[in-house]
A and B are shown apart, each in its own frame.
Chain A
């Protein structure tokens, strides 16, 4: 039995070390487990707070902007229809599992041809999500989450692949250390690529943010 699924917020740690108790009053005295448990929960909460906005791009001011596969099928281009690729270092829960990622995507069709947008998040249980089809020729956030829901939560259920890189020592040792990084890749693709006409899907916005609460 654990003490809590989420880190319990016990309030800010204020004056814990600058006020009482002082070193003089505590010299060589151990700390109670209950007190350390309180502190560990605060540390956990501080880590929770670190979930961050990974992508915030909105080019929704006018048609004619945004990103697309530059060329149609007859010109070649990315065979996967890859339009955007973002790599970030995920924050991990105690089991090595990344936090969920909330994703919005915006796009439009250059000529009203039916389009959809596919988003892939590497290592996620969700894998990929494809938006509802649309024919709009103006930038707008598209329904990626099923029904009319615009956002999609990409969740992870297993530790992702991590790799080690060498860095200078952090804690007082002259020996080098190794750092663990957990890169996650977000891809935005045109699932209908290569297209046989001049019609294009244009990506005009992408938003992705880690989320640590709730689950």
Chain B
């Protein structure tokens, strides 16, 4: 019985005295490399970091929590570890596991559900902890990038044929692993989940923490993508979600505007992704006009432009905005010129500093807030999921 490891044990580093210049590599070495890659390509991605939904479930009832995320496309099952407690009695929490197969190894964004049915007909329980994993592809499939052991012989030099065989693994490895920063969910039950009727807004998350992964050695910030699952109590009004990175200097924000036309039916959930793209133009001026339908920005707020089609005319950086319309804002680029193009904005979360033992990029921790609000106090905005994941660049 072969022993594999879904826990990605890194292969040991080659020792200098083991390196023989110009000598062939043993097939067994390649096998180890292939196994290491297999372990890396699909195992134990935490796509729902542990959190506490605090959802109560009556005896005999069921509740469903839904999570938005973009899979890495390598896993064939999801595994939930959850913690419950009885609401009406003392005692330690209880821990359970639930495993579900995935229909496909899609790498497009999806909504995945966790359903808990309370087996007790009497006692009410509360889900106080939940973590979700993606598990490795555990069996050979047509779409697997696998190694056929028949193509190599132990201690034989690797040949072009075997080289081709494990080449697929290396190709698979060239696509990066997405990291999941946040995935909070509440029940889909309208009666119990997060809601607000405040036009001034309520906190969905206050003082949350996100430290991004440094994708390349020169990265200081790495972009994030936010997903929201929301419903409105009426089709007459809409809502808005704002994420603020509370940086010590300029607080960077981004908005998701959900007009009432986005809610075709009342009390029904819809999935939203916070937009990141603009088109921009400027005419013999340093002032650039950025255009996005329902951008949501308010004059004096700060925006961080993290990519642009013309970094000379619209340099990457932080700008204070002036709102000139529902769909337009202006910023001072500091460069007089005539140009146009497209750009993206981001929340400028710091990346880990791999040169530091703690990984912290600065001595001052940075926190973020997520605020949701309604257009009109006569409406109620429900949110059942807020998620943040890495944007692979």
Spell out A's residues near B (CB within 8 Å).
Answer: 1-4, 6-7, 9, 12-14, 16-18, 23, 26-34, 36-37, 39-40, 42-44, 46-62, 65, 67, 70-71, 75-78, 82, 84-94, 96, 102, 104, 106, 139-141, 150-151, 153, 162, 164, 166-173, 175-182, 205-209, 211-215
Q: Contacts A96-B9, A214-B354: A177 and B14 contacting too (C-beta < 8 A)?
A: no
Q: A3-B13, A208-B50 are in contact. List 10 more A-B contacts (CB 8 A).
A: A7-B10, A9-B217, A43-B36, A56-B209, A94-B9, A104-B365, A139-B206, A141-B209, A176-B1, A213-B355
Can you list 16 A-B contacts with CB-CB less than 8 angstroms, sorted by A residue number?
A2-B13, A9-B217, A27-B160, A30-B23, A33-B21, A36-B33, A50-B177, A53-B49, A58-B206, A61-B204, A88-B46, A106-B207, A173-B149, A206-B50, A212-B354, A214-B355
Docked Cα-Cα span, A162 to B326, in Å, equals 57
Question: Is there an interface contact between A86 and B129, defined as CB atoms closer than 8 Å?
Answer: yes
Question: Is there an interface contact between B365 and A180, defined as CB atoms closer than 8 Å?
Answer: no
Question: Is there an interface contact between A40 and B3, defined as CB atoms closer than 8 Å?
Answer: no
Question: Is there an interface contact between A50 and B1, defined as CB atoms closer than 8 Å?
Answer: no
Residues in chain B near residue A49, CB distance under 8 A? 176-177, 213
Question: Is there an interface contact between B8 and A50, defined as CB atoms closer than 8 Å?
Answer: yes
Question: Is there an interface contact between B38 and A171, defined as CB atoms closer than 8 Å?
Answer: yes
Interface residues on B, range: 35 or more
Is B138 part of the contact surface with A, judged by Cβ < 8 Å? Answer: yes
Residues in chain A near residue B7, CB distance under 8 A? 89-92, 162, 179-182
| Across the A-B interface, the 6 shortest Cβ-Cβ residue pairs | A30-B24, A213-B354, A17-B167, A61-B203, A57-B51, A26-B160
Question: Is there an interface contact between B37 and A43, defined as CB atoms closer than 8 Å?
Answer: yes
Question: Is there an interface contact between A178 and B174, defined as CB atoms closer than 8 Å?
Answer: no
Which of B3, B93, B179, B209 is within 8 Å of A207, CB to CB?
B209
Is B266 part of the contact surface with A, judged by Cβ < 8 Å? Answer: no
Chain B 1-36 interface 0/1 with A at a Cβ cutoff of 8 Å (1 = within): 111111111111111110111111100011001111
Question: Is there an interface contact between B159 and A28, defined as CB atoms closer than 8 Å?
Answer: yes
Residues in chain B near residue A150, CB distance under 8 A? 365
Residues in chain B near residue A7, CB distance under 8 A? 10, 13
Q: How far is the CB of A28 from chain B (nearest CB, A)?
A: 5
Docked Cα-Cα span, A178 to B7, in Å, equals 12
Question: Is there an interface contact between B13 and A44, defined as CB atoms closer than 8 Å?
Answer: yes
Question: Is there an interface contact between B10 and A60, defined as CB atoms closer than 8 Å?
Answer: no
Is B331 part of the contact surface with A, judged by Cβ < 8 Å? Answer: no
Docked Cα-Cα span, A23 to B162, in Å, equals 10
Docked Cα-Cα span, A62 to B196, in Å, equals 14
Which of B4, B14, B36, B174 is within 8 Å of A167, CB to CB?
B4
Docked Cα-Cα span, A31 to B356, in Å, equals 36
Residues in chain B near residue A30, CB distance under 8 A? 23-25, 157-159
Residues in chain A near residue B300, CB distance under 8 A? none
Q: Contacts A58-B209, A61-B203, A94-B10: A52 and B179 contacting too (C-beta < 8 A)?
A: yes
Question: Is there an interface contact between B2 and A173, defined as CB atoms closer than 8 Å?
Answer: yes
Question: Is there an interface contact between B38 and A102, defined as CB atoms closer than 8 Å?
Answer: no
